[in-house]
C-alpha cells in the first residue's frame, strides 16, 4: 500500500499550482474556477473563497487517508493544525467582543457546531480533555504565571507538536526533521511573545524538548546576534520569512534524495498546505486591492 500511496502522490502532485499559475492569479489574468476550484475571486466573498480552498486542501489529504488508511494518524495529525487554529480563534472570540465567529472548515477532534456553541474557556478546555490536545493538567499547574489566553495558546501548540511527532514514529527520520523545523518556526513566535526563558520553562514542564537560541540560529543559518536582534525588535514576520525560506530550501533538497519513500508524501502534503496558504494570500491581497508585487512577495513557491 505504501508504494501505491507514493505512486498516487506523484500523480496528485502534478495537479498542484505552478509558479506561472500564481503569477496569473496575482495579476488577475485567470480566476480560481479555471484552476480546479469551484469559486471565483471576482464573484465570491472572502469567506466562501477560503472555505473552498481549505476544503480542497483537506480533501486532498483525506484522499491520501483513503488510499493508505494505515497512515491515517499521520494525515490526521497534519490536518490537525487547522483545528488548532480554530481552537485558538475560538479562545480569542471568547475573550474578545462578541461577534461573528469564523473558522476553517475542518473538524476532527471537536465538532464545529459544538465549538461554536461553547461559552467559556472552561468548557473549551473540558472538551479538549479526551483529545490529544488535552492541556487541562498543565494549565492547572501553570495558571497565574502567564496571561491565561497566551498560556492556553502556547500549550495548544506544544501539545499539537507532541501529537504530530507521535504520528511520525514509524515514518522516515527526514519527515521528523522537517516537522521539527515546523515546530521551531512555531516556537519562534512564542520566543518573541514570552521570551526564551519562559518558553523553555513551559517546555520542560510539559516534558517537551527545549529549544535553545543556539539551536535556532544554527538551524536558521543566522548568527545568534541576528536572531536576538529580530526577537528583541519583535520582527516576527521577518524572522519567520527567513525560517520559512530555510524550511523550503531544506524540503526541496531532501525531496531530491527521498523520492521513493514517505517523505515524498510529506512533501506533497506540505505543498498542498503551501498552495492553500498562497491562495489565501492571493485572495486577501486581491480583495484588499494590494499591489501585485506585495502579494507576489508573500507567496512561497515549492513547485
Among 10, 63, 102, 108, interactor with another protein by CB under 8 A: 102
Q: How far is the CB of 98 from another protein (least distance, A)?
A: 8
Q: Which of 149, 203, 246, 248 binds another protein (CB under 8 A)?
A: 149
> Residues 270-299: x/- map of binding to another protein (CB under 8 A)?
-------x--xx--xx--x-x---xx--x-
Candidate residues 15, 92, 122, 130; the one interacting with another protein per rule CB under 8 A: 92
Site string for another protein, 179-218 (x = CB under 8 A): -------------xx-------------------------
Q: How far is the CB of 115 from another protein (least distance, A)?
A: 12
Q: What own/partner pairs with CB < 8 Å and gap ≥ 24 does 16-21 have?
A: 16/268, 16/271, 16/272, 16/275, 16/302, 16/303, 17/275, 17/278, 17/279, 17/303, 18/303, 19/301, 19/303
Q: Of 73, 86, 167, 274, which one interacts with another protein (CB under 8 A)?
A: 86
Q: Does 108 bind another protein (CB under 8 A)?
A: no
Q: For residue 151, give every residue at least 6 positions away whose Cβ sits within 8 Å of its Cβ, in sequence order, or none.
A: 139, 142, 143, 145
> Whose Cβ is closer to another protein: residue 55's or residue 277's?
277
Q: Buried (b) or exposed (e) across 44-61, using 16+ Cβ within 10 A?
A: beeeebbbbbbbbbbebb
106 lies in the site for another protein, by CB under 8 A: no
3-state secondary structure of 143: strand
Is residue 135 within 8 Å of residue 121, measured between CB atoms? no
Helix axes 236-257, 262-287, angle to 10 degrees: 140
CB of 298 to another protein, least distance (A): 5
For the CB of residue 99, give the shortest distance to another protein in the complex, in Å.
6
Contacts of 59 (CB under 8 A, 6+ apart): none
What's the Rg (C-alpha) of the chain? 20
Could you say which residues in the range 26-85 bind another protein, by CB under 8 A? Answer: 46, 50, 85
Give how many residues touch another protein by CB under 8 A. Answer: 34
Provide, rounded to whole angstroms, the least separation between the CB of residue 7 and another protein.
33
Instruction: Scan for cell 472555505, then name that residue.
Output: 51
CA atoms within 13 A on the CB side of 131: 22
Find residue 143's DSSP bridge partners: 146
Q: Nearer Cβ to another protein, position 218 or 291?
A: 291
Question: Is residue 3 a contact point for another protein (CB under 8 A)?
Answer: no
Closest residue by Cα to residue 94 from 114, 125, 118, 127: 118
Judged by CB under 8 A, does residue 118 bind another protein? Answer: no
Minimum CB separation of residue 4 from another protein in Å reads 34
Q: Is the dihedral of CA 76, 113, 47, 185 positive or negative?
A: negative
| Contact residues for another protein, defined by CB under 8 A | 46, 50, 85-86, 88-90, 92-93, 95-97, 99, 102-104, 147, 149-150, 192-193, 234, 236-237, 277, 280-281, 284-285, 288, 290, 294-295, 298
Amino acid at each position: 500500500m505504501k508504494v501505491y500511496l507514493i505512486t498516487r502522490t506523484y500523480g496528485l502532485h502534478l495537479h498542484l499550482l505552478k509558479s506561472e499559475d500564481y503569477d496569473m492569479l496575482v495579476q488577475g489574468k485567470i480566476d480560481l474556477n479555471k484552476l480546479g476550484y469551484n469559486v471565483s475571486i471576482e464573484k465570491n466573498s472572502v469567506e466562501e473563497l477560503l472555505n473552498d480552498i481549505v476544503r480542497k486542501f483537506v480533501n486532498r489529504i483525506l484522499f491520501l487517508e483513503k488510499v493508505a488508511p494505515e497512515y491515517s494518524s499521520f494525515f490526521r495529525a497534519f490536518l490537525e493544525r487547522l483545528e488548532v487554529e480554530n481552537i485558538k480563534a475560538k479562545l480569542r472570540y471568547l475573550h474578545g467582543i462578541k461577534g461573528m465567529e469564523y473558522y476553517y472548515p475542518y473538524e476532527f477532534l471537536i465538532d464545529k457546531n459544538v465549538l461554536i456553541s461553547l461559552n467559556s474557556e472552561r468548557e473549551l478546555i473540558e472538551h479538549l480533555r479526551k483529545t490529544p490536545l488535552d492541556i487541562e493538567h498543565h494549565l492547572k499547574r501553570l495558571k497565574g504565571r502567564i496571561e491565561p489566553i497566551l498560556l492556553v495558546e502556547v500549550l495548544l501548540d506544544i501539545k499539537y507538536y507532541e501529537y504530530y511527532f507521535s504520528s511520525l514514529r514509524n515514518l522516515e527520520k527526514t519527515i521528523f526533521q522537517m516537522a521539527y523545523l515546523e515546530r521551531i518556526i512555531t516556537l519562534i513566535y512564542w520566543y518573541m511573545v514570552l521570551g526564551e526563558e519562559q518558553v523553555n520553562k513551559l517546555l520542560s514542564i510539559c516534558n517537551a524538548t527545549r529549544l535553545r537560541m543556539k539551536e535556532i540560529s544554527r538551524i536558521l543559518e543566522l548568527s545568534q546576534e541576528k536572531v536576538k536582534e529580530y526577537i528583541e525588535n519583535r520582527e516576527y514576520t521577518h524572522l519567520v520569512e527567513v525560517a520559512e525560506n530555510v524550511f523550503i530550501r531544506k524540503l526541496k533538497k531532501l525531496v531530491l534524495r527521498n523520492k521513493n519513500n514517505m517523505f515524498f508524501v510529506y512533501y506533497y502534503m506540505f505543498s498542498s498546505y503551501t498552495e492553500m496558504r498562497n491562495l489565501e494570500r492571493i485572495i486577501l491581497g486581491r480583495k484588499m486591492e494590494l499591489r501585485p508585487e506585495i502579494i507576489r512577495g508573500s507567496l512561497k513557491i515549492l513547485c
